[in-house]
Every structure is written in C-alpha cells, then in structure tokens.
Structure 1
C-alpha cells in the first residue's frame, strides 16, 4: 500500500478525485500520496506562491507528479478573443482558468525550490569546496474522470500523453504505466531528456514530506475501509460467472482460497429462493452453517424454504425425525461414545431418508442442494446427501470446493463418481486476502493463490517466534495491545490455532478477553475468539493471529509438511496476518 500523507478531504465533492484516490491505494509502498495538498513557498524573486493541488504523487526513483482533476465533460473551443486562440469548457460552461495552467505553472517554481531545499557540499580539493544539489523531478498531468477520450479537446490545448482518462483506471498496472511514462517525459527545454531526479536520502525525503505536509496517520480500520472498493470488481466478475451457468442444473465450482465460493453459494440460494425452490445449504463446518443461517434470516428467507446446516447436525435432525431404530437420540458426552456416534451417523442418515421417502414426507426433501467446502465431505456421504433431493437423479446441485484445502487426513474426498461427472468451472483468483498474505502463504506452503491487480498490497506478515506455551501467550497479549493502538477492535480480531483446543498451547486461555470456540460453541461477540483452523473454514476476519505453527517435518527448502492447514488458517485473514511460529529445536 502507498504511504498516504494526506487523505482525500471529507468535504471533497469531486468524483474524479475519489476515483483516482481509490485506485491509487493499489500502488505499492514506494509511492507517497497527498490529496488536496496546500503548497506555500517562497520564490527566488522574494514573492510567494500558494496553490492547492488535487493530487501529488512522489516516487524516489521517478520523481513527483502533480495532477489536476476535473469532473464532467471537458472540451475546448476556438476563440479569437482568447490569448491562446481557444477556451476551456466544463459541461459547456467556460472555465475560469485553464486546467493546464493550474499545474504547469507550478513545475518550474518547484524545481527551483527543491534545488534550494537539498544542497550538497562536495570537497573539490584542499582549499575549495563545490556546492551541488539533489534534484526532484516535477511533472504534471490532468485527470478527466468522466471521460473516455479527448475527441472534444483540441490537439493544441494539451498533449494526449498528459491526460489520464477514465479508461486508464480499469487496472492499477495500466495507470502505473501511464504515470511512469508521464514522469519520464523527454523535455525539449532540457535537451530532449527527462528532467533530472535524485534518489533522495532518508533525511531529505523527510524534509520533502514535511514541506508537502505530513498529517496524522489514519487508523488501520480507516485504511481498510478505503480499500474496500478493491474487492467490488472481483465480486462483480463472480456474479456474472454465476449468471452464465444458471441453465445447467448441476455444476462443480472449484475455487482457490478467498475466491468468493461461499459468497457465490449465497447468490445461488437467493436466486433459487426467488424461483420458489426449496433449498438446503450444506457444509461440514458448523460455524459457517450458523453464519449462513443468520444471513438467510436477515434476508427474511423462511426456514421452511431455506435450510443451512452442517452435515452432522442435519443428519442428526433427520435421524430423530425418522426415528431410526437403534440410533441414539443425543450425542454422547464421552470420547469413545462420540467416536462411535459420528462413525455411524452417515449410515443412520441414509436410513432416515429411506424411511421418510417411503412415508411420502415430501416436505422433508429439497429442490436444490448447495454444498460449500465440498472437499470436507467423505465421498460416501455425498451419495447420501444427494438423496435429500426430491429428484435425486435430476435435482439442482452446486458443489463448491478447493482441492488445496483438504485437511482431514484419512478421509477419502473429492472422488465421488456422481459429483465428478458434473461439469466444472474454475475460480483461479482470490480477492479476500491481501497480496502480502498470499505471498507469505506461497513461501511457506508452496501453494500459489493468484489475485486481482486491484487486490490491496496490505501490511507485511508479522512472524513472531516462541519457545514454550508461556512465551506464546505473552506474545498474544503483546500483539493485542499493539493492535489496540492501531484502533483495531476485538470484533475484527480472530486467533486461529493450527491445533485442536486439547492440543493447543493456548488451551487454558479462556477469560473475559479471550474465549475458545470449541466444538458446537458459537462465537462470542464480546471477546476475542480463539478457534481451531478446522472450525473456521469458509469464514474470515480482518486480522488473524495464526498460532501453534510448529517446525516442518520436511527438509529445508521444501513446502511445510502441514501446508494445506496453514493455507486454510492464513487465508482467513483479510487485511493483516500475524503468525506465532515455534523456534526449531536444536538437536
């Protein structure tokens, strides 16, 4: 993310300034940005200059770009009364000042001012000293945020290469190339070469920042809110993709982590609801099922028409409804009993469906099945799940999955012949997690998740080392304190353990500030929740603290031996990831 020294004024009504600022947030940390900057400095003749610049961009290696933003339809018109032979118009009204003059007239004075700001003393010999200076290249551009072309602007008014148009904002890289080209413009007044530019020292960079104005840094949540638009474009693509497959009753959708599978599943539920269909949304994770059920209730989808449930909870419900002989009515409390209960439940579930179908209980069956996080389902379960359909051979099915997120060892998945026979579409790019998070995931796991150009770069992943449980707990308290200073609220923080509670170093951490969400527990809205990565699939938080990362069993340089689980845990983070990694033991 760029270093933003002055944000767009809350009083700004300029659409163009807002559009430009939104996409500039996709630039990397080498860029500095000032919006609505007020410049005031002395000229060599003793006079002073004071101007507001809509946008100032600075890059140490490329220089500074002044941008004048204009809304509406900009045009020029010939005028014999004008000194230049033409006038500028905005929405057919004559403009008081030429937009070119508003920025061009600042270029030369700023060049001179920066020379005086950054003098360098060079020792020539024992008796003489020579003075030089650091240069800051200054260039200018216009941004017409509502225009696709320059057909209504005369070629004598402005060079097209100086104008940024609406079409230049389609992709961040497209805008970056345009900005770079403008900054490297060859100037006839300088021997047909670009204006000189010195890579400023850190001291001189701070002087430049102080001159242009260094304002209070925004909180992290404020930054994230500004970046929210970066995730709108990918969701629009996903929605169009889902529209394109509506005619096919059965589809597999394979998507990378954060590609919007659960969001697309919700769209399908909403679309089918409008068609009057009875729908079952199924997943393995009870927390995901709970959130989906809450979402459907907020949209006022009646439970009689839309059901969201985890596999085992729905199975247990149907087993009770059908009164399956020999099946327990409640989940046992002891470990051995639970193990037998879960092992036999899929079999009881199939028996229950057979009984209800023979009893003509049509209201217990569905027109459509939406299966999310399908890689969690045992292949044999899926044959039973399809029996939930009123027409098991022809009913509507959407099966969402990611082969890289298979984490249940010993469970045969993604091999059911009925599911495999369905056509498949691929979602190859994620948009939930920042680029820095996805880069860290690739380095640790070897799993590459592509993203969109507009995906925020984000903060570096913070990796903290610990040796024992007590040190990891101390790290957790320290990180929470640091996040609070960044104005990050507990509701935006989640602690994700790569182990179950019984095996986690944080197992005993359960108090007013931290709450474990164990099997069947809902999340606590008043505390920072600690969950196992197994329980939080399909969900996300702005900040995730990934704990209990143990050394890999693989050789150095190879992907981590627990790669898939790390991928699942890390990609729950939308904006920032903190990792607690155990120090390798020296043998």
Structure 2
C-alpha cells in the first residue's frame, strides 16, 4: 500500500522509479527477454527473480540509478542485495539508504550485512528513537514484543493514552472469534464513541485461512458491523467505508507502513507460529495512534495482556 501511494505520487516524477523488488525484477526481466508472457507466478518463479534481475542488468547496462532507497530493509532476502546494488550507476559514489526495523521482521530474512554489501566496515547507522505516532500506552505495550538488543531505546512523545484491551475466545472456536470481535467493535464504536471509519481490524491470517473471510474472499459479518476489505482485487487501496456500520479489515502484513486511530488485532491464537507471534503483535500494535484492542484465544491472553 505504501509503495502504491508513492508510485501514484512521487513515482510520476521524471527519473524516479517506485517499485517492489519483485516488480522491478519482472519489468527488467521482461524487457531483457528473460520472462515470457503469462509466467506461472509460483514460489519457484519468485525465487528465481533475483537471478533474473542479475542477468537483466548485464543485458541492460543503461538501466542504472544514482541513488537507491530501500524501505523495510529487514524483509529483503540475502540474495537480493547484490543485484539490487548493481542497479547503481557508480558503486563507489552511489547513494544507498536502507530503512529497517528488526522488530518488524515478519519474513525472517537474514541480515543484509552478512554479505558485507550493505553495511561496509564503517557504516553510518542512525537510530530513529522518537515514536511520534502512538500513545505511551501503545508504545509500552508494543515494546514487550520487541527483539531489539542494541542501540538506544525508543521514546514515546505522545500522550499517555488508554491501556490496550484484551477480548478472548475459546481455542479453535471460529464462531466465537467472530462473535467476540463484534462485541469488541460495539465496545469501541458505541461505548467509546469512535467513528467506525477510524477503526481497522488486522489479522495475521491470509484470506484463505482467515475466519473473517468467506470462501470467495469477501469479509464476514461481525454483527452488527460489516467488515470491508482494505484492498481491491488488484491490491489497490479502496476508499474508506462511508456507511456507519462498516469497518475496514486487512492483514497485518499488508498494513505495514500504514496507521489508523484504533487497531483491532484479531485471530491471535495458536494458529500463529511461536516465532511469528512477537513480530506480528509488534507490527500490528504500532499501526495504532490512539488505542489497541486484541481479540485472542484464552490460552494466549495471559502472555499478551
């Protein structure tokens, strides 16, 4: 979503390219003749794109840049860095900025400096320690799931705010999860007098495995609210819901880089792998500006609350 926003704004400026790694590799690979029409976009295909980009750059020497800015650097696979840096017109004088947060490593990519291509012997590392988005209550809650072991601690500059709320359901109870989510939404919107348009429901589950999605990929009812998709069929961000009974829903992964006044983290249960739990909670909670609500299984409530 952030990439789409940038592509629609600064991406229209001359001499600026906004793309994902895979999107850039596909575009140059196609231009160089290494990708045919209608490729099968399976796991093996995406795994091959780093090599495709490497070969495409050898065939297209005119496709180079003076500066590269990488966002979500913690998510890039190790083998992506060499072809990515080969995009520089001048490897010695070219400019590279990498923004990353180890706490948001949802894909468990290896550190880029293992190859010594991103972090040289004397790197310039700057720590962005001021949290200007969230309340102190949200900041303190998110820090419980932080994996940070070095660098200065972050500081919240916002107001104190409300403590995060926890709503629970029995393990494996899909109907119970939806019912409790509806209760949480009523508490937020009706009792808290928060506009439904200020609330987003985030889930760690994909459309195929989420209890909040029907078989056709459309959201279910969270009575009395209707969950509305955040993104259209092609991944474009849809306009905010305009009706009072509509609440946006998206995956935690897709909502990275975005924010909302109130975030409801749903389907936090034993289906989440142990290694994924902390980064998912950290990323999800830090999307919120004013309040966080967690809808989780009874078994995990003690660890979260």
The Cα of 1:328 is off from its aligned counterpart by 3.8
Note if 1:500 corresponds to 2:206.
yes
SS in 2 for 1:346: helix
User: Residue 389 of structure 1 corresponds to which residue in structure 2?
Assistant: 88
Task: Supply the distance in 2 between the matched residues of 1:515 and 1:539 (Cα, whole angstroms).
Answer: 15
Asked if structure 2 preserves the Cα contact closer than 8 Å seen for 1:349 and 1:384, the reply is yes
User: Residue 6 of structure 2 corresponds to which residue in structure 1?
Assistant: 292
The Cα of 1:375 is off from its aligned counterpart by 0.4
Q: How does 1:371-390 map to 2 (within 5 A)?
A: 371-390=70-89
Task: Supply the distance in 2 between the matched residues of 1:465 and 1:535 (Cα, whole angstroms).
Answer: 24
The Cα of 1:572 is off from its aligned counterpart by 1.0
The Cα of 1:385 is off from its aligned counterpart by 1.0
TM-score normalised by structure 2 residue count: 0.80
Q: How does 1:24-43 map to 2 (within 5 A)?
A: none
1:489/1:318 CA distance change after superposition, 3 Å:
farther
TM-score normalised by structure 1 residue count: 0.44
1:537/1:331 CA distance change after superposition, 3 Å:
farther
1:306/1:331 CA distance change after superposition, 3 Å:
same
The Cα of 1:575 is off from its aligned counterpart by 1.3
1:424/1:329 CA distance change after superposition, 3 Å:
farther
Where does structure 1 lack aligned partners over 5 or more consecutive residues? 1-286, 555-559
User: Residue 571 of structure 1 corresponds to which residue in structure 2?
Assistant: 286
The Cα of 1:447 is off from its aligned counterpart by 6.1
Task: Supply the distance in 2 between the matched residues of 1:447 and 1:420 (Cα, whole angstroms).
Answer: 18
SS in 2 for 1:465: strand
The Cα of 1:331 is off from its aligned counterpart by 4.9
User: Residue 406 of structure 1 corresponds to which residue in structure 2?
Assistant: 105
User: Residue 115 of structure 2 corresponds to which residue in structure 1?
Assistant: 416
Q: How does 1:18-97 map to 2 (within 5 A)?
A: none
Q: How does 1:187-266 map to 2 (within 5 A)?
A: none
Deviates more, 1:380-389 or 1:507-516: 507-516
Asked if structure 2 preserves the Cα contact closer than 8 Å seen for 1:434 and 1:456, the reply is yes
Match of 2:163 among 452, 456, 460: 460
1:506/1:445 CA distance change after superposition, 3 Å:
farther
The Cα of 1:489 is off from its aligned counterpart by 3.5
The Cα of 1:516 is off from its aligned counterpart by 5.8
Match of 2:219 among 510, 514, 536: 510
Deviations 1:160-215 (A, max 9, x none): xxxxxxxxxxxxxxxxxxxxxxxxxxxxxxxxxxxxxxxxxxxxxxxxxxxxxxxx
1:295/1:344 CA distance change after superposition, 3 Å:
same
User: Residue 269 of structure 2 corresponds to which residue in structure 1?
Assistant: 550
The Cα of 1:524 is off from its aligned counterpart by 2.1
Asked if structure 2 preserves the Cα contact closer than 8 Å seen for 1:496 and 1:546, the reply is yes
Match of 1:430 among 121, 125, 131: 131
Task: Supply the distance in 2 between the matched residues of 1:465 and 1:497 (Cα, whole angstroms).
Answer: 15
Asked if structure 2 preserves the Cα contact closer than 8 Å seen for 1:435 and 1:455, the reply is yes
Which structure carries more strand by proportion? 1
SS in 1 for 2:299: coil
User: Residue 525 of structure 1 corresponds to which residue in structure 2?
Assistant: 239
Task: Supply the distance in 1 between the matched residues of 2:178 and 2:144 (Cα, whole angstroms).
Answer: 26
The Cα of 1:346 is off from its aligned counterpart by 1.4
Deviates more, 1:347-356 or 1:384-393: 384-393
User: Residue 182 of structure 2 corresponds to which residue in structure 1?
Assistant: 477
Task: Supply the distance in 2 between the matched residues of 1:416 and 1:456 (Cα, whole angstroms).
Answer: 42
Task: Supply the distance in 1 between the matched residues of 2:206 and 2:273 (Cα, whole angstroms).
Answer: 19
The Cα of 1:581 is off from its aligned counterpart by 1.0
1:529/1:317 CA distance change after superposition, 3 Å:
farther
User: Residue 234 of structure 1 corresponds to which residue in structure 2?
Assistant: none
1:457/1:489 CA distance change after superposition, 3 Å:
same
1:323/1:393 CA distance change after superposition, 3 Å:
farther
Task: Supply the distance in 1 between the matched residues of 2:86 and 2:146 (Cα, whole angstroms).
Answer: 37
SS in 2 for 1:542: strand
- Determine which structure has greater relative contact order: mean sequence separation of CA pairs < 8 Å that are 6+ residues apart, divided by chain length: 2
1:329/1:350 CA distance change after superposition, 3 Å:
farther
Task: Supply the distance in 2 between the matched residues of 1:369 and 1:491 (Cα, whole angstroms).
Answer: 36
SS in 2 for 1:584: helix
Asked if structure 2 preserves the Cα contact closer than 8 Å seen for 1:501 and 1:518, the reply is no
Q: How does 1:116-127 map to 2 (within 5 A)?
A: none
Note if 1:581 corresponds to 2:300.
no
User: Residue 219 of structure 1 corresponds to which residue in structure 2?
Assistant: none
> RMSD of the alignment, in Å?
2.7
Task: Supply the distance in 1 between the matched residues of 2:2 and 2:119 (Cα, whole angstroms).
Answer: 24
Task: Supply the distance in 1 between the matched residues of 2:70 and 2:276 (Cα, whole angstroms).
Answer: 28
The Cα of 1:289 is off from its aligned counterpart by 0.6
The Cα of 1:553 is off from its aligned counterpart by 7.7
Note if 1:329 corresponds to 2:27.
no
Of the two, which has the highest radius of gyration? Answer: 1
The Cα of 1:428 is off from its aligned counterpart by 2.6
The Cα of 1:293 is off from its aligned counterpart by 2.3
User: Residue 349 of structure 1 corresponds to which residue in structure 2?
Assistant: 53
Task: Supply the distance in 2 between the matched residues of 1:416 and 1:544 (Cα, whole angstroms).
Answer: 37
SS in 2 for 1:577: strand
1:383/1:374 CA distance change after superposition, 3 Å:
same
Asked if structure 2 preserves the Cα contact closer than 8 Å seen for 1:374 and 1:399, the reply is yes
Asked if structure 2 preserves the Cα contact closer than 8 Å seen for 1:491 and 1:525, the reply is no
Task: Supply the distance in 2 between the matched residues of 1:529 and 1:392 (Cα, whole angstroms).
Answer: 44
